[in-house]
Amino acid sequence: MKNIKDILFVIQARTQSTRVPNKMLKPFGGSNLFEIAIQKILNSKIIPKDNFYLSVMDDELIEIAKKYKVNYFIRSEESTQEPVTLPKVLEWHDKLPFKYYVNINACNPILKIETIDNFVQQFINNNCRGQFGVFEKKTFLFNNEGKMINRFFGDDKYLATLETKFVETCYEAAHSLYAGTMEDISKEIYMGSFKDQGDPSFFIMDEIECFDIDWPWQFTIAEKLYDESNNNRGRINR
């Protein structure tokens, strides 16, 4: 079992998004993606505030970190440019006094703090070096040659109708929550080998919570989903 005091909880952010300009600070749900993510972590029941850092370089984001009295690590300009190595992107790995990390994507506004806490608890309890969020995909998946990737367990007559109840469940990366060791980052290993079973370990999530904003149309849909999910609850305290 891991000690939570040995885990860094980090949100990486920058204002130079190319597909959705100024995505982190663009008005969203009465706030913005960056502050929504910060307040979720501050509302956690298990994450120690002293272990929570923002990895930022822009003055606007640093001011927000100060506003919430959150630790921040000033990342380099090089860490935001491509191509770049994993140790450079996650350059805090050898500069902060932690053995493990949990990286939270601020572009998942539907993600609940209860889910984050459950992810952390599973990472602490499991004997794994890495873990990441996934969601189930029970459908027919094919490669670019038209060959079915996942297995079908039913009679061929159901295959003709694409009956999904007989198809093998697969998992899609959630691009939401990531955990691993600082030592692995230095070796350019992110969470695990992705070759051996359980390396890294899965954390199964609700697909709607994994809605990731990369494009303007996703920003618009996410805001509607966010408003709907909050209804009579506070906009930020999820």
**How far is it, in rounded angstroms, from Cα 107 to Cα 129?**
25
Provide the number of structural domains found in the chain: 1
Question: Tens of pLDDT along the chain (238 residues)?
Answer: 999 999 999 999 999 888 898 999 999 999 999 999 999 999 999 999 999 999 999 999 999 999 999 999 999 988 888 778 899 999 999 999 999 999 999 999 999 999 999 999 999 999 999 999 999 998 889 999 999 888 888 777 767 777 788 889 999 999 999 999 999 999 999 999 999 999 999 999 999 999 999 999 999 999 999 999 886 455 444 4
Inside any domain, residue 168? no
Residue-range definition of the domain harbouring residue 204: 4-134+173-230
Inside any domain, residue 235? no
Inside any domain, residue 190? yes
- Residue 156: burial class (beta carbons within 10 Å; 0-12, 13-18, 19+): exposed
pTM of the predicted structure, to 2 decimals: 0.91
Alpha helices in 12-82 (DSSP H): 33-42, 59-67
Inside any domain, residue 116? yes
Inside any domain, residue 144? no
- For 150, the 3-state DSSP assignment is coil
Question: The domain spanning residue 212 has which CATH number?
Answer: 3.90.550.10
Inside any domain, residue 215? yes
